[in-house]
Amino acid sequence: MGSFFVILYSMSNELLFVRKAVELFHGSSKEAIDLGCGYGRNALFLAENGFNVTAVDKYLDCLTEIENKTDKITTVHADLIDYKFTKNYDFILCTFVLHYFERNNARKFIKKMVKHLKKDGILAISLIRTPKSLSIDELMDDVANLSTVSAVEKIIHDNPHSGANYPHDHDVFFYIGTRE
Ligand SMILES: C[S@@+](CC[C@H](N)C(=O)[O-])C[C@H]1O[C@@H](n2cnc3c(N)ncnc32)[C@H](O)[C@@H]1O
């Protein structure tokens, strides 16, 4: 498993983890899904990189903002807790979302993402670690059918946002796996 080190990293501007995951992708088809897409920074990046992107969120305003920016992304308004995948994907992304889920729901959802990843596909997950979120060992168990490409825990610095109106740090686990 990856090492623990500290970097400065802005959650609102940087896409380094997603960029890295895209660089690691060598599949021939490019069907991607961004689960819990927020305002679409990563979905937009995937679309700019030639992926056919579906972006899913339960917050309608986020999807409207994406729709106002591009017609290249298919938006889906849904709660991921009971989300039913309609097909398999080459690139599955879930960043800074799973800490909202109750541990068992997070584990079920990770298994669902693994199940719907195509051969040579990439699954990229970033998990904000909280006392209630699933553990790294649990996440690694749930992705055991994939080959781990990268698994790193980092402290990232976040700017003030609603709910935490001051600069603060997060302990985040970044996972990238592939189906060989
Ligand atoms: C911290 S934001 C991260 C957004 C995006 N992934 C990113 O990295 O910029 C978390 C997003 O997950 C969405 N979300 C949380 N729980 C969800 C659920 N059960 N179903 C669908 N979306 C959910 C929220 O609406 C929010 O847009």
For the chain, domain boundaries: 11-19+30-178
Can you name the residues that pair with 147 across neighbouring β-strands?
Answer: 178
Both structure tokens of 12: 């609102």
Instruction: Name the pTM for this structure.
Output: 0.92
- Answer yes or no: are the C-beta atoms of 169 and 160 closer than 8 Å: no
pLDDT of residue 164: 86
Ligand 1 midpoint to CA 101 (Å): 10
| CATH of segment(s) 11-19+30-178 | 3.40.50.150
CA–centroid distance, 144 to ligand 1, in Å, is 24
Question: CB of 158 within 8 A of CB of 168?
Answer: yes
Instruction: Find the farthest-apart pair of alpha carbons in the chain and give their distance in angstroms, rounded.
Output: 43
Per-residue pLDDT, 124: 98
Q: In this predicted structure, what is the pLDDT of residue 161?
A: 84
The strand order across the sheet containing 31-35 reads 4-6, 147-158, 168-178, 117-128, 89-95, 31-35, 52-57, 73-77
* pLDDT score for 93: 98
Report, as ranges of residue numbers, the positions in the chain whose pLDDT lies below 50. Answer: 1-14
Return the pLDDT at 46.
95
* 108 CB within 6 A, ligand 1: no
